[in-house]
Amino acid sequence: MKVSIIVIGDELLIGQVTDTNSGWIARYISPYGWEVNDVQTVSDKADDIRRAIDRAFACSDVVLTTGGLGPTRDDITKTVLRDYFGGEMITDPSVTENIHRIFGRRGLKMNPLTEAQAIVPSSCRVIQNRVGTAPVMWFERDGKVLVSMPGVPFETSTVMAEEVFPALLERFPSQVNIEHRVLMVTDYTESALAMKIAPWEDALPEYLHLAYLPKPGLIRLRLDGHHPDRDFIVKEIDRETSRLKEILGPAVLADRDLTPAEIVLDECRRRGLTMATAESCTGGNIAHELTLIAGASDVVNGGVVSYSNEVKINVLGVDAADIEAHGAVSIPVVRQMAGGVCRVTGSDVSVATSGIAGPGGGTEEKPVGTVCICARCGDREVYETARFNGSRERIINSATSRALILAAKLVTGKL
């Protein structure tokens, strides 16, 4: 099924807001065999929106729009859709009820502009937006469908996953069975990985397709399969996934689509281990990634942001002489940080980082982007000095991912 996406809003065209909705939608529908073949970003101008709809319907049976549904005067999508599909503007009681429910739950006072969001074209079918006040509107013409969704990413993803896409699958049923498997691979660049598995990939049958999806420190390999016979495609994709795992060996960190933090937590939980972090240059970002995950409390004991040498020495027990001899950004220091935070928190597993995130502070010997990392599990440990490029934020995020990957490899015994 071909899908077109129209992202509406002046704020997107001037760079004030970045479009994340189209990418999320494409990633979400792809495993089902649906394909985004056109993405347009247009202004809050009626003619621009109409032209975008014409173009989208020319190449797709399903058009998804996001944005332009707010309560202010510049949000005109609803009016344009009324003119395009016909009908009149009416007040939908179910939308009014939903708006009052949301405002009551949030303890907010209703105002006329917000309440006016219940006014919708009579030519649409309303899909309730339980996490926002702007309704989702479903239009049909000549066997084709346009669904207008709010532009707030959280609202878009929620209504798309829970309401819109299930309705689209029901409206456009497919006779093709779709399966996919995911492997999270580390220790390869994308080009080196492609060379490693080239003979296997070249031999794939036409009903199987491999996608490379790089992430910081990891490459997500997704194997998709499409076939009318469900039992056949399940057996085929499982067989080829097993072959790929044999080829890559310990480089396969997980056989599910997980973040490094999720992998570490799952493996620690499965083994009954607890974890702590000792962070200098990453400033608590590793702990943040871990505790973003629901249920982290049964694994994560705590962490120490030892940004200063005094905290490294007085809290984590790092030898001041080692800092003097090797510098705070050194393997001896992060090894002691990792051991110290296990002692302080009573944890079985730890990760420690100390580095130079920039933009200043680098030297010829230790340039900006130098990060020393240590992961510890019981009496076993792994440590390295890494070099990362990019902005301060990118270096911190890269160091965070690498530290968690090292911890995952250590805990799973893949080192």
Q: Which of 281, 379, 286, 398 is nearest to 333 (CA)?
A: 281
Q: How many CB atoms lie within 10 A of CB 313?
A: 18
Burial category of 25 from C-beta neighbours within 10 Å (exposed 0-12, middle 13-18, buried 19 and up): buried
Question: What is the pLDDT at residue 104?
Answer: 81
- Which residues on adjacent β-strands are paired with residue 279? 305, 353
Question: What is the pLDDT at residue 105?
Answer: 77
Q: Reply yes or no on whether the pLDDT at 203 is more than 80.
A: yes
Residues 202, 223: Cα–Cα separation, whole Å: 13
336-366 residue pLDDT tens = 999 999 999 999 999 999 999 999 999 999 9
68-114 residue pLDDT tens = 887 766 678 999 999 999 999 999 999 889 888 888 877 877 778 77
Q: Which two tokens stand for residue 394?
A: 């990118």
Query: What does pLDDT average to over the chain?
Result: 94
Question: What is the pLDDT at residue 109?
Answer: 75
Sign of CA dihedral 327, 329, 332, 337: positive
Q: What is the pTM of this model?
A: 0.76
Q: Which residue has the higher pLDDT, 232 or 95?
A: 232
pLDDT over 90 percentage in the chain: 84
284-316 residue pLDDT tens = 999 999 999 999 999 999 999 999 999 999 999
Residues 302, 300: Cα–Cα separation, whole Å: 6
Q: Which two tokens stand for residue 380?
A: 């076993």
Q: Reply yes or no on whether the pLDDT at 153 is more than 70.
A: yes
Pairing of strands 2-8, 35-42: parallel
Question: What is the pLDDT at residue 271?
Answer: 96
Q: Which residue has the higher pLDDT, 53 or 101?
A: 53
Residues 62, 74: Cα–Cα separation, whole Å: 25
Measured at the CA of 51, the angle between CA 45 and CA 53, to 5 degrees, comes to 100
Q: Which two tokens stand for residue 121?
A: 């074209």
End-to-end distance of the chain based on CA atoms, in angstroms? 43
Residues 30, 405: Cα–Cα separation, whole Å: 27
Question: What is the pLDDT at residue 74?
Answer: 66
Residues 103, 372: Cα–Cα separation, whole Å: 49
Q: Are 275 and 350 in contact (CB under 8 A)?
A: yes
